Structures are given as structure tokens and as C-alpha cells.
Structure 1
């Protein structure tokens, strides 16, 4: 098998493996375009906040464009973030069974090539960001501090998932920054709820690597919670639902938003019931299912925004 066609161990096969030009595959893999679930999870708080803010403003005229721009921005910035993560983690990835075939530890691309692709994606993200007001631009740029330090957190704290939450939930602030040119208490509560959600689903994800992480000394909430993971998920997922509910109440959301939150909550409860931390394949499936949980909430918020605008 040639270097360009070598499939990453934690990928299941997709358009990158079958349709992308062979020379481009390592670059697309290093930015996880073969596994877009992370981009969708990054996008969900962006869409939540855009819809909730539009509902509060009683104006959905700019919402379609905002949704599209957030979609593009989430995919390219997640791609840039993954490239940065792989650059900083290349030695650790080489020691973990699931990640040792990633492009950098496998020698498919060099660090300089990975950095170049990171910059290209970041520039596309900047172009997207510049379509918004100055406050939104500044808010978006501020997130880069968290993105830059996140890959190092697994080395120094048992709570790297909390730092991922700070980064992946940033979109909960962006919808308000774009719509109102400010961040209010509703945005901050929504942000906090999204952070709790991220801690929950990334703990599930981290159980795939718990044994390898223990061998190489990498910390995670999966290792921290261990056999008590179900109880921890009840706490964090419950906190997510509660805080998002507070955000809805403070924004005077109507029944579609509450219906979306109820569907979101039921999905999270289903995940907890199904979870077996000793089954890596199931952990991955449940982690990926959070895309659907997020879309259920977004559908409710979108319907609420349209109802309020009418």
C-alpha cells in the first residue's frame, strides 16, 4: 500500500479514502476531513447561539447566511486545530495503537507541510470571520488562545476535556457576538451548558484510549472517572441540560425550543444507558451520536426563531 493511500487506524473509510487525489489524502486526514464528526460538534454551539440570538432579536433575515458561514468556519478551523494537535502530539500518537498511523507519526507529511496546511485553513477561517462585525472578529480571534494550549493539557491535568469544552463551545458566544455585537448573560449560560456537554461526550470518546493513555502517562477524565463514568455523565449531561434550559428561559424562548431541549436530553440519557466503557467501538458510536443530539436542539431553536420572527 502506498503512503498516500494508507488509511488512518481510527478512520472507517469515506470519500478521502476513495475519491480524494492520492497526494491530498495525508493532508485531509491530518485535518480530519475523513472523520468530520468533530467539525459537526464544533459547529453545534455556533448554530445554537445563532438561532437563539435570532429568536431574541425577532429577526431571521441574516440567519441563513450566518448558518452557512459558521458551517464553513467550523470545518476549516477544526481542520486547523487538528493539524496543530497532531503536530504537538506526534510523539505521543506514535505510542498509541489507534493513532500511530496518523500522517505525522507515520511519516506521510512533514511538520513543515502540516504547518503550511494549517495556515491555509486558518486564512480561510479568517476570511469567514471578517464577514462579521468587529466585536465578533475580536471574539473569534480570542478563541485561538484556548486552541493553542489545549493539546498540552493532557500532560498536566486530569481535565483536558474541560479545556476542549472551552474551545469547542466558543461558538455559543459567537452567535450573540454576530447578532448583537455583545455577549450577555444568556450567551454565557449557553456557553457553560455547552462546556458541560463537551466534557461528557469527550469522556466517552477518551475511553477508547484509556489503557494506552495509562501506559504513556496521558491524563483524561475517562481515566479519572473510571468505573464511575456513568455517574459523572449523569452530572455533566444533567448540568448541560439545566444550563441550556436557563439560557432558554432567560431568552423567553417558546415551545419549539423547549421541545428541542427535551429531545436533546432524552438523547443524552439514551447514551448513558447504552454506554459500556470497556467497549471501544460502542464508545465511538455513542460519541458520534452527539451530532444528532446537537441537531435535535438546533432544530428546536431554529423553529423557535422562525416562530418569534413571524
Structure 2
């Protein structure tokens, strides 16, 4: 279990296991590059806001570059956040079946090595951030406070998913900060809608660990809602769709954006219908499918931005 080639329990076969140099595998696992779904979910609000802000500006000239920079930034900063999470949770991870083989509790990486890797990833993120305007740089730096406190929330509140939502939805602000050098009502409502979406999908994710979490005293909305999870998801997913819809109205979005939102909403309805909280493997599959839901919305927003820029 402690060797550099050991596979993390909650990962399946991937390029890290099969192609990465053995010395690099523990670090790639720390940054979750063997399981990039979290990076995609962090990226989705960034892309939504970039496309929606470009539509507001009627200018897509910088949108391709912003999309690429957000992609790089989301992956490295999610990696940094996961590394920080694994440092703070190393003792708890050792007690949970799904996480006990993560690099730090498994002895593949020491805490000082993990800290050094965290700094390395953060520096790459800083280089990406410095490509933007001063307001966007300050907005991005402000998110670090939420990222820093998130790992401790599961110890003190049944609602750590709210704090995760605040962190993972920050990109909904960044697109407006980068493109328009301001945060307005549209950005804030999009941010609120994304937070509701994150609370929903991370509740599904947390059901994988519900039994272990209950035994070791970790709190989550999965434990809080329990058998009422489907009803809770109706509330939070419904809020997500409604708030994002308000953001589209405020932005003066066109038909393509609304079609993207409709596809996004249909996907969320399918998730609720399909979910069985007693099936951890199904919970993981449905959680991962949120990348597809996010891409459906982004596609609509992107097409809308292209159409509005051409008018």
C-alpha cells in the first residue's frame, strides 16, 4: 500500500496508474489528476461566466484565450486545494476505507513534501492569474480564504457543502472580473445558482462515505438529509436552475443560452430520478455526470455569446 505505484482506493484505472513515471504518481494523485472530475466541476462556473460576460460585452475576441487560461487555472488550483485538503485530513483519511490509501496516509508522500508540492501548484496558478487585469487578480486571491478554511468545516457543521459551494463557484465571478473588470448583479446571481448546484452534487458524492463519516464524527449534508436527499436535491437543483435563469435574464441572454439552461435542468432532473443513495458506485457515477450537465449549459452560453457578438 505504501509503494509509489499503489492505486488509490477511490480511483479506477487511468493514465496516472498506467503511463506516469512511478516517482510522479503520488504527487499526481495528491492533485487528483488521476480523477479530474473535480477540476472539471471547478472549471464549469468559470466557463459559464466567461461566456455570459462575453455575451454581455458583445465581444468574443478574448474568449478563446480566457477559456484556455481558466482551464489551466482550474486544474492546478483544484490540485493545490486537494493537496491542502489531504494535508489537513491525513488522520481522518486513514480511518475511511475509500481514502486510507491516499498518498499521505499511505506513506507515499511526507507532509513537508506535500507542502512543497502545494506551493509549486499555487505558483502556477498565480502565473495564470497574473495574465488578467488587476481587479480579476484581487478577486481570484480573495477566494483563497474560503479554500483554506473548507477542510475544517466538516468537523464543525452539517453544511460543509455550502463552503465548498462558495469555493467551487468562485469562477462564476471570475469571468465577469476578467472580461468586464466588475462584479454586478448578474455575476452574483450566477454565483448563487452555482453554489446551489454544488451543494446538490456534493451531497450525492458524500453519500459514498456516509457510513464511515458517521462512525468518525464527520458531518455532511448527506448525513443531514439522509432519506430526504431526493427532496433536498429538488430544492437545491431547482434553486440552481432558477437563479441561473435570473442571471440569464439580467444578462439579456438569447435563445441559445436558454436552450443550454433547459438541457442543464433536464440533466439534473435525470440525476434525481436515477439516484439511489444506498448504491455508492451509482452515487459516484451520477456525481461525475455533472460535468456533462455543466458542459450543456456552457455550450448554450458559448453559442449565445457568438451570436450576440456577431449582431
TM normalised by structure 1 equals 0.99
1:122-147, CA deviations, whole angstroms, 9 ceiling, x for partnerless residues?
Answer: 00000000000000000000000000
* 1:153 and 2:153 matched: yes
Matches within 5 A, 1:280-291: 280-291=280-291
Structure 2 counterpart of 1:308: 308
* 1:5 and 2:12 matched: no
How many Å separate the matches in 1 of 2:31 and 2:67? 22
How many Å separate the matches in 2 of 1:191 and 1:158? 22
Structure 1 counterpart of 2:237: 237
1:243-280, CA deviations, whole angstroms, 9 ceiling, x for partnerless residues?
Answer: 00000000000000000000000000000000000000
> Is the 2:257–2:300 Cα contact (8 Å) retained in structure 1?
yes
How many Å separate the matches in 1 of 2:74 and 2:276? 30
Structure 1 counterpart of 2:135: 135
> Is the 2:7–2:101 Cα contact (8 Å) retained in structure 1?
yes
Give the match's secondary structure for 1:61: coil
Structure 1 counterpart of 2:202: 202
Structure 1 counterpart of 2:92: 92
Structure 1 counterpart of 2:225: 225
Matches within 5 A, 1:154-303: 154-303=154-303
Structure 2 counterpart of 1:74: 74
How many Å separate the matches in 2 of 1:11 and 1:230? 26
How many Å separate the matches in 2 of 1:192 and 1:157? 20
Matches within 5 A, 1:17-166: 17-166=17-166
How many aligned residue pairs are there?
Answer: 310
TM normalised by structure 2 equals 0.99
What RMSD, in angstroms, separates the aligned Cα atoms of the two structures?
0.6
Give the match's secondary structure for 1:4: coil
In structure 1, stretches of 5+ residues that fail to align are: none
Give the match's secondary structure for 1:104: coil
In structure 2, stretches of 5+ residues that fail to align are: none
Measure how far apart 1:13 and its partner are.
Answer: 1.2
Structure 2 counterpart of 1:15: 15
Measure how far apart 1:2 and its partner are.
Answer: 6.9
Give the match's secondary structure for 2:242: helix
Measure how far apart 1:295 and its partner are.
Answer: 0.1
Q: Which runs of 4+ in 1 moved over 6 A?
A: none
